[in-house]
């Protein structure tokens, strides 16, 4: 990414863009989807997904299971949609039984979309998208299936075509390990069709402008970040070199190791059931006599360690360990050792080394040789 600006109207940028649009479809596991590389953040990608497919007043179903899904629902409401909010306890996954009953009742097909966060970063909960599709299919419901994959795509198993996802989105700064600034949105043919008639007012996020320039072969309705385009190329090359499925396996390995450490510390995972365990972030519940924010502060101030705060309902109650993106086993182990020291600092009677030992015992049996070094 360390390069000068160049004229995005020169022939070089469309040539690069064309390659990127093809490559990026692979991380969504789609062949029929249409990707958009939007100079925005995850929040902007959300807005793009919603405003291009829905009209103000449209009824949608959306799940609140933590801070990020909450923020998305807030956005949905402020953009004028009529949101059936389905809440779960924070730490649980989306309540799909409620979804089923809503769809069953909605014989008139007033529900236009089902919106779900694949991986709730605030609680470390991964929702089961295949089940959502199954329910939609069971009721032969035509609602669009919109997925926030910000902290999942390129790290967790995600299958746009197989699961019939209509809009999936991610951001450059998560599993792609790039700087913030690119919202990557992928739309199914059905979503593209919906965008022709969706009445939400939008210009910056309007897919129509992109599609017009795609047809012209110049690709960009406005100035992209040249640096992020080259960065995306480099990030995808790294991922394809490792192998997307190997990347996903690595995240599973790191997630498992982290959970074993948490268990060894005698602490509770915020995620209530194993089926929801997230392989990209682990939210750890602290005992009531400890303020989790103090753990985060102390990690940063003493150990140069970045942990995630507990947000909103779980503020003070959980801290979060991220294991997402271009990160390897030893980096995680250094982090886990740091957490142990912080825990002791704040008065939790952890046995130093216990979490690292548990993680190592698992990792030592499961880390593969680095293919390029064999």
Min dist. Cβ of residue 360 to a copy of itself (A): 4
CA distance 355 to 184: 36
Nearest to 135 by CA among 96, 84, 176: 96
CA distance 321 to 282: 5
Cα Dmax for the chain: 64
CA distance 259 to 59: 38
- Choices 110-118, 128-136, 237-245, 296-304 (CB under 8 A): range interacting with a copy of itself: 296-304
82 binds a copy of itself (CB under 8 A): no
The dihedral built from the CA positions of residue 227, 232, 234 and 235, taken in this order, carries a sign that is: positive
Min dist. Cβ of residue 201 to a copy of itself (A): 5
CA distance 226 to 3: 9
CA distance 192 to 242: 32
78 binds a copy of itself (CB under 8 A): yes
* Long-range contacts of the stretch 255-259 (C-beta < 8 A, 24+): 255/279, 255/280, 255/282, 255/323, 256/362, 256/366, 257/329, 257/332, 257/333, 257/336, 257/358, 257/359, 257/362, 257/363, 258/282, 258/321, 258/323, 258/332, 258/336, 258/359
Instruction: For the segment 345-374, give every residue that binds a copy of itself (CB under 8 A).
Output: 345, 351-354, 356-361, 363-364, 367-370, 373-374
- Choices 96-104, 234-242, 245-253, 301-309 (CB under 8 A): range interacting with a copy of itself: 301-309
Min dist. Cβ of residue 10 to a copy of itself (A): 5
CA distance 11 to 111: 44
75 binds a copy of itself (CB under 8 A): yes
Instruction: For the segment 217-256, give every residue that binds a copy of itself (CB under 8 A).
Output: 221-228
Among 31, 301, 321, 348, which residue sits at the site for a copy of itself (rule: CB under 8 A)?
301
Q: How far is CA 327 from CA 82, 226, 251, 311, 333, in A?
A: 40, 25, 9, 24, 11
Min dist. Cβ of residue 93 to a copy of itself (A): 24
Cα-only R_g, the chain: 21
- Choices 108-116, 120-128, 234-242, 326-334 (CB under 8 A): range interacting with a copy of itself: 326-334
- Choices 58-66, 157-165, 266-274, 302-310 (CB under 8 A): range interacting with a copy of itself: 302-310
Min dist. Cβ of residue 163 to a copy of itself (A): 26
CA distance 323 to 151: 10
Among 109, 138, 273, 344, which residue sits at the site for a copy of itself (rule: CB under 8 A)?
344
Min dist. Cβ of residue 261 to a copy of itself (A): 10
- Choices 93-101, 190-198, 245-253, 298-306 (CB under 8 A): range interacting with a copy of itself: 298-306
Instruction: For the segment 86-145, give every residue that binds a copy of itself (CB under 8 A).
Output: none
238 vs 352, beta carbon nearer a copy of itself:
352
Contact 264, 358 (CB under 8 A): yes
Place of tokens 């649980």: 92
Instruction: For the segment 30-59, give every residue that binds a copy of itself (CB under 8 A).
Output: 39-44, 46-47, 56
Beta bridge partners of 119: 126
CA distance 91 to 125: 7
300 binds a copy of itself (CB under 8 A): yes
Min dist. Cβ of residue 56 to a copy of itself (A): 7
26 vs 297, beta carbon nearer a copy of itself:
297
Nearest to 260 by CA among 342, 352, 360, 339: 360
Min dist. Cβ of residue 228 to a copy of itself (A): 7
258 binds a copy of itself (CB under 8 A): no
- Choices 6-14, 26-34, 84-92, 190-198 (CB under 8 A): range interacting with a copy of itself: 6-14
Min dist. Cβ of residue 200 to a copy of itself (A): 7
Min dist. Cβ of residue 218 to a copy of itself (A): 10
- Pairing label, strands 281-285, 268-269: antiparallel
- Choices 89-97, 128-136, 283-291, 331-339 (CB under 8 A): range interacting with a copy of itself: 331-339
Place of tokens 């602290």: 286
């Amino acid at each position: 990414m360390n390069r000068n600006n160049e004229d995005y109207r020169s022939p070089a940028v469309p040539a690069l863009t064309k390659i990127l649009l093809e490559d990026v479809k692979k991380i969504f596991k789609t062949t029929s989807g249409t990707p958009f590389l939007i100079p925005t953040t995850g929040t902007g990608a959300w807005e793009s997904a919603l405003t291009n497919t829905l009209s103000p007043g449209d009824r949608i179903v959306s799940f609140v299971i933590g801070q990020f899904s909450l923020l998305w629902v807030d956005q949905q409401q402020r953009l004028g949609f009529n949101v059936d909010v389905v809440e779960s306890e924070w730490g649980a996954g989306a309540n799909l039984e409620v979804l089923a009953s809503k769809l069953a009742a909605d014989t008139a097909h007033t529900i236009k979309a089902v919106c779900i966060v694949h991986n709730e970063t605030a609680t470390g909960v991964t929702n089961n998208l295949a089940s959502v599709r199954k329910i939609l299919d069971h009721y032969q419901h035509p609602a669009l299936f919109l997925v926030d994959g910000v902290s999942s795509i390129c790290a967790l198993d995600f299958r746009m075509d197989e699961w019939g996802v209509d809009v999936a989105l991610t951001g450059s700064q998560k599993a792609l390990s790039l700087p913030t600034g690119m919202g990557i949105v992928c739309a199914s043919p059905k979503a593209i069709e919906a965008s022709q008639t969706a009445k939400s007012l939008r210009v910056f996020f309007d897919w129509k402008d992109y599609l017009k320039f795609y047809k012209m072969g110049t690709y960009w309705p406005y100035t992209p970040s040249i640096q992020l385009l080259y960065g995306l190329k480099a990030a995808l090359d790294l991922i394809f070199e490792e192998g997307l499925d190997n990347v996903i396996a690595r995240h599973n390995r790191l997630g498992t190791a982290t959970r074993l450490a948490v268990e060894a510390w005698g602490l509770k995972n915020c995620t209530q059931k194993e089926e929801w365990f997230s392989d990209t972030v682990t939210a750890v519940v602290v005992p009531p006599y400890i303020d989790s924010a103090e753990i985060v502060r102390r990690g940063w101030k003493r150990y140069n360690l970045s942990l995630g705060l507990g947000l909103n309902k779980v503020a003070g109650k959980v801290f979060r360990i991220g294991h997402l993106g271009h990160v390897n086993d030893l980096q995680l182990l250094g982090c886990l050792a740091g957490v142990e020291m912080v825990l002791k600092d704040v008065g939790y009677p952890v046995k130093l080394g216990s979490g690292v030992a548990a993680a190592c015992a698992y990792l030592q049996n499961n880390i593969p040789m680095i293919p390029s070094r064999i």
